[in-house]
A and B are shown apart, each in its own frame.
Chain A
Amino acid sequence: MAYSFPEEVLEYVFAFLSSHKDRNAVSLVCKSWYEIERWCRRRIFIGNCYAVSPQIVIRRFPEVRAVKIKGKPHFADFNLVPEGWGAYVYPWISAMVRSYPWLEEIKLKRMVVTDESLELLSKSFKNFKVLVLSSCEGFTTDGLASIAANCRNLRELDLRECEVEDLSGHWLSHFPDNFTSLVSLNMSCLGSEVSFSALERLVSRCPNLRTLRLNRAVPVEKLPNLLRRAPQLVEFGTGAYSAENQTDIFSNLVEAFSGCKHLKSLSGFWDVDPAYLPAMYYACTGITSLNLSNATVQSPDLVELIIQCPNLKCLWRERELIEDMTTQVLDYIEDAGLKALPSYCKDLQELRVFPSDPYGAEPNVSLTEQGLVTVSAGCPKLQSVLYFCRQMSNAALITIARNRPNLIRFRLCIIDPQAPDYLTLEPLDTGFGAIVEHCKELLRLSMSGLLTDRVFEYIGTHAKKLEMLSIAFAGDSDLGLHNVLSGCESLRKLEIMDCPFGDKALLANAAKLETMRSLWMSSCSVSYGACKLLGQKMPKLNVEVMDERGHPDSRPETCPVEKLYIYRTVAGPRVDKPNFVWTMDEDAVLRLS
């Protein structure tokens, strides 16, 4: 009945669809809906920058205002993807400069961004408003200076966990005196000191500023002046939170924090001196998100602070906001601290506990599986967990699974690879099996510890909603991989390191790979020959072999490849590969033979 509605009406209705999935579904209904939808799509999400080319995107969606692109595979976060691999944003920016002059938003994750890209973007998009760079690298503070100087309508500059070459803090001073539109500034990943007077003036003249995350170089003495100028702040990140003992700093802090009646999120806290923590208590009643993962502060002080935040929880908004709305701590919180959490933070939704000493041979803190069990019992809304610990048992996992069938994200890292159930010395198969069996809405799972093929049987049977799975040092044979690929109907991303999975499961489930975003396998047993075969048979996949030892042709076909990255694409083989990446496709196979 599409013809009975004028285009304008359909367009008006489509405007209410914000989810990409809905938009994509709508575009498949019929040709005229496809046409209408593509002209009115304003926001694009590209989950893998190599799955499509800028030209294809621009051709289909001519009126885009906001772009979000992801580049390197997730394991790049742990140094598994060598430098120079790719994910350059420049080709995207230069193409968009020509075709999207009114682009307002660019959000990038795990991409290589150069100063050249930043300068080009700052000079070309007249209405540019939002720049979010998450886990990106390749630029210096000079690039930031271009953004500050040229983006007259900038609202958000958010650098999350980026690797920035920090030449100086001078970039901040490039914001012009008549620049007042800033709403959000996150510079927490930068090292250099910025000019405090420039920062104070900037904060003073931007009345809509609601997010300010400072870097470590901003000393605690500077905070009161900043907070007084921005009492409307909703999200605040401190710098280094300690000073020489001066009582007037403390009282200034108390006064400044108590003036901030709208604070919902706190972060920062490098080099924290527990004596200064109470200064924040007045600001804590509204706090819903606390990130203390930089704070090497011991359990009692941490618990004290958390007690001050009765509303600590996580508001479920779009996924990308989730990262900020969590409780993040180091394992200094210990089991004792975690025991206190449910009493004071009944609404807790997301918990992340990071290791303070990941490489130490012995545990340095008293944090075990019990902490997580307690929180799972006492926090009925807990749905997302990231937990580093040194021991785990099937009993604990089964208890957690029964307590919290509403878990949607469960990432457990037992630091010692292949650590068994510490009570029974058995594999942790039944424990993780319980997780996938009880948590029927589980979207993301990361496993660790001693695991056999059995756990993959459970996963294949039960984890029907699972979208992302991360595996390391697990399984015994191809049957494990086969169970995952054939059983997990919703699987989009699979990343595997150091598992004995080889050719058979991969080749038998080749078609499955076209239904997923990507598969990463490193230090497994997939042979070069199998990769070539896969590349030949599956033209819609890019089968990329990465090997430091040189061209795989210099070794026998049966030799396993070092790293394998397979992803579906409509853009064909990459043209920007470094000399240690090869695409297995028909042309390559012919050229090589």
Chain B
Amino acid sequence: MSSEITKELLESETSGVLKTELTLGLPGDSLVQKSGIKRGFSDVDLKLANYDQAESQPPPQAQVVGWPPVRSYRKNLIKNCKYVKVGVDGAPYLRKIDLEILSSYQDLLTAMGDMFTCLTICHVLNERKLMDSANGEEYVPTYEDKDGDWMLVGDVPWKMFVESCKRLRLMTSSEAIGLGAAAPSTPSKGSSTSC
């Protein structure tokens, strides 16, 4: 391609290009982007605690991955942060969630539902699950505790859970069968090999 033609072609791109404004909105809003791809929410840093409180604080902000360019260890250092990795069976990427800013299991489910936008929360017989409406697959939140055992989320007091949780995983219901509920004296190891 001659450089003249290149320049012409490129210059025709520039006239009258509207600048779309980037807005960081509440979770659930679409993130308007200049570029072609809609950004999902990863590294969710939602200040969900504000939902229940009538405060004059600024509204919760969802954060974009990679911005601002601050290293993870620095994030964990400044505030009381507890970032743990969250994986979903079948999805290639891991994400991270800050447990310190959440105050209940309900918050956690909501955050996970927002993070993996194809999943919706469903309450089945008082159990906490997430469902992928596209393929009908049900996911159960599980976590690895300090001892390296995989447990179902939800059976210990929230604070205790935050203290002992090392990482989270949304397992398909079938894979999660056999996982122990947390009991202080006898945590049972998951029998499935997928852990």
Contacts and interface: CB of A to CB of B under 8 A. Distances in A.
Contacts of A330: 78
A578 interface: yes
Contact of B10 (A293, A477, A560): A477
A356 B58 CA distance: 18
12 contacts: A77-B69, A77-B71, A78-B66, A79-B66, A79-B72, A293-B74, A358-B75, A358-B78, A417-B64, A498-B64, A498-B67, A580-B92
Contact of B94 (A83, A482, A502, A524): A83
B101 to A, nearest CB: 10
B39 to A, nearest CB: 6
A153 interface: no
Interface string A50-91: 000000000000000000000000010111101110000000
Contacts of B14: 453, 476-477, 479
B9 A504 contact: yes
B6 interface: yes
A579 interface: yes
B66 A359 contact: no
B73 A161 contact: yes
Interface residues of B, number: 46
A361 interface: yes
A497 B78 contact: no
Interface string A329-365: 0100000000000000000000000111111011000
B35 A499 contact: yes
Interface in A440-483: 446, 452-453, 470, 472-473, 476-479, 482
A79 B42 contact: yes
Contact of A548 (B34, B63, B75, B91): B91
A388 interface: yes
A500 B34 contact: yes
A451 B35 CA distance: 15
Given A504-B13, A505-B10, A562-B37, A354 B74 contact: yes
Nearest to B9: A504
B61 interface: yes
A476 B67 contact: no
B43 interface: yes
Nearest to B166: A165
A497 B34 CA distance: 11
Given A163-B72, A504-B10, 5 more contacts: A79-B96, A80-B66, A293-B74, A356-B78, A476-B19
Given A78-B66, A361-B61, A497-B67, A473 B34 contact: yes
A508 B5 CA distance: 10
Contact of B68 (A413, A478, A502, A525): A413
B10 A357 contact: no
Interface string A378-391: 00000000001000
B92 A499 contact: no
10 nearest CB pairs, A to B: A560-B36, A361-B58, A580-B92, A477-B13, A525-B36, A78-B66, A500-B34, A80-B66, A82-B93, A508-B6
A359 B19 contact: no
B79 interface: yes
A522 interface: yes
A43 to B, nearest CB: 28
A499 B34 contact: yes
Given A357-B78, A415-B68, A477-B17, A579 B92 contact: yes
Interface of A: 75, 77-80, 82-84, 161, 163, 189, 270, 293-294, 296, 330, 354-359, 361-362, 388, 413, 415, 417-418, 446, 452-453, 470, 472-473, 476-479, 482, 497-502, 504-505, 508, 522-525, 548, 559-560, 562, 578-580
Contacts of B17: 476-477
B22 interface: yes
Nearest to B5: A508
Given A80-B65, A161-B71, A418 B77 contact: no
Contacts of B91: 548
Contacts of A293: 74
Interface string B69-92: 111111101110000010000011
A479 B67 contact: no
Interface string B83-119: 0010000011110100000000000000000000000
B55 interface: no
B174 interface: no
B92 A560 contact: no
A562 B43 CA distance: 17
B85 to A, nearest CB: 8
B66 A522 contact: yes
B70 A354 contact: yes
B35 A294 contact: no
Contacts of B30: none
Contact of B6 (A82, A477, A482): A482
